[in-house]
Amino acid sequence: MIKKTLPLFLGAAMCASLSTPAFADDLKAAIKADYDKSLGGLWDYFHRNPELSYVEVKTAARMAQELRAVPGVVVTEKVGGTGVVAVLKNGNGPTVLLRADMDGLPVEEKSGLPNASKVTMANREGVVQPVMHACGHDTHITAMVSTARQLARLKDKWQGTVVMIIQPAEERIGGAEAMVKDGLYTRFPKPEYALAFHVAAELPTGHIAASETIQYSSADSIELTVKGVGTHGAAPHLGKDPVYIASQIVVALQGVIAREKSPLLPGVITVGSFHAGTKNNIISDRADLGITVRANDEKTRAELIQAIRDVAAGIGRANSLTDAQMPDVKVVESTPTTINDTVLARRLNASLSNSLGAGVVVPFEQRNMGAEDFAWLVQPDSGVKGYYFAVGGTPQAWIDAAAKGGPPIAGHHSPLFKIAPEPTITLGSEAMTRAVIELLGKK
């Protein structure tokens, strides 16, 4: 586990009228009232009705409907597939992009929540799977609706343009890139800044945290196919057993992490799926491995991917495979590291620390090697400065109970995943609203 505690630079930049108790109370009260009136029900709808990556048709339609109902917002659908773009203009000034991801995961929900998902649906490839919001994207899109409503209500506090995107397929790290390729930065106002948040199950409610450098690792999804020669299980010498060969590859890949990669550089190779065979006494002719690779820098990332190719080829040769039979390695989905712009992160960390109150903004810790395709929105050649922050999703009481032997806190992507929606959505909305006003606020 890599932990980085990064300094917070306090000394707020917000104009005084926006950091007064009266404004703070008004904004908090307005968001809370909105949650009680409609946002809570909206989150409940999204949680009960998750959709898989690239096929978030109903979710996108509902978000388009909600955003069109906000005065002044112009909505465009089907950007990069099921993506939604909503633009709110308010005079001359910079442009800020806000992003929320909307896809669920192929997980059967076992959270015990009264509104637990019972949905099954076909994914983009036509495979029917259970679906669950096991990563909190339902809170992200609900908070986006709240933020849009508050920015429309507070137009006297800011000027410029806000572009809000509802992004598909974050879980398959392809939706942000698809929206960019479909003209996100040419068909719509190009932003100077891009902001997003993610609920964090390991962070207590009432807190936010943002790095001033790296926020998330890179991710590469790899499909590795071992081509064997099928035969009877009683006569293995007459074939080439892909299960045996693939098993050697699985074990050898951990040697790359333990013995080839520098121990001072973060990196992960995880074989998440292994599929082969149909019957116990048949040696099949194929084994398929699904692999994820994580790194915190581009050099390590490239070295790990090349090492997988080298290991697969070396074990193939050791098992006397022909050139035509050599394992096939394909990188099918990728996202770079998510790096917050240092100057922007310091500015917004300071502003939010001042405006949200003492102890709300806490030092950021990179607790794992999770990845985010938000990185495609803030690539260095885009000129867009990024700020991504975490919002606590688990009440401190739950964390304390777990520490005393109670139910453990389920991680993201777990069938047991659950967070507290109200404090997550209301704080996420307030922080996003305040960040926009900090960047676009009237002086």
Number of H helices, E strands in the chain: 10, 17
Catalytic residue selected from 56, 66, 138, 171: 171
Q: How many CA atoms lie within 13 A of 262 on its CB side?
A: 10
3-class secondary-structure state, position 329: strand
Report the distance separating Cα 196 and Cα 99, nearest Å.
5
Place of tokens 């996003």: 432
* Pairwise CA distance, residues 235 & 153, whole Å: 75
- Tokens 């929206």 found at: 179
Query: 290 - beta bridge partners?
Result: 223, 273
List the catalytic residue out of 51, 66, 101, 372: 101
Active site residue 171: yes
Tokens of 223: 């499909």
> Which token pair is 82?
């099921």
DSSP per-residue codes, 329-343:
EEEEEEE--EE--HH
State how far the Cα of 79 lies from the Cα of 381, in Å rounded to an integer: 22
d(CA 26, CA 308): 55
Collapsing DSSP states into helix, strand and coil, what is residue 12?
Answer: coil
Query: Residue 131 is encoded by which pair of tokens?
Result: 């679906």
Residue showing tokens 């739950």:
398
Q: Is residue 25 flagged as an active site residue?
A: no
Task: Give catalytic residues, as residue numbers.
Answer: 101, 171
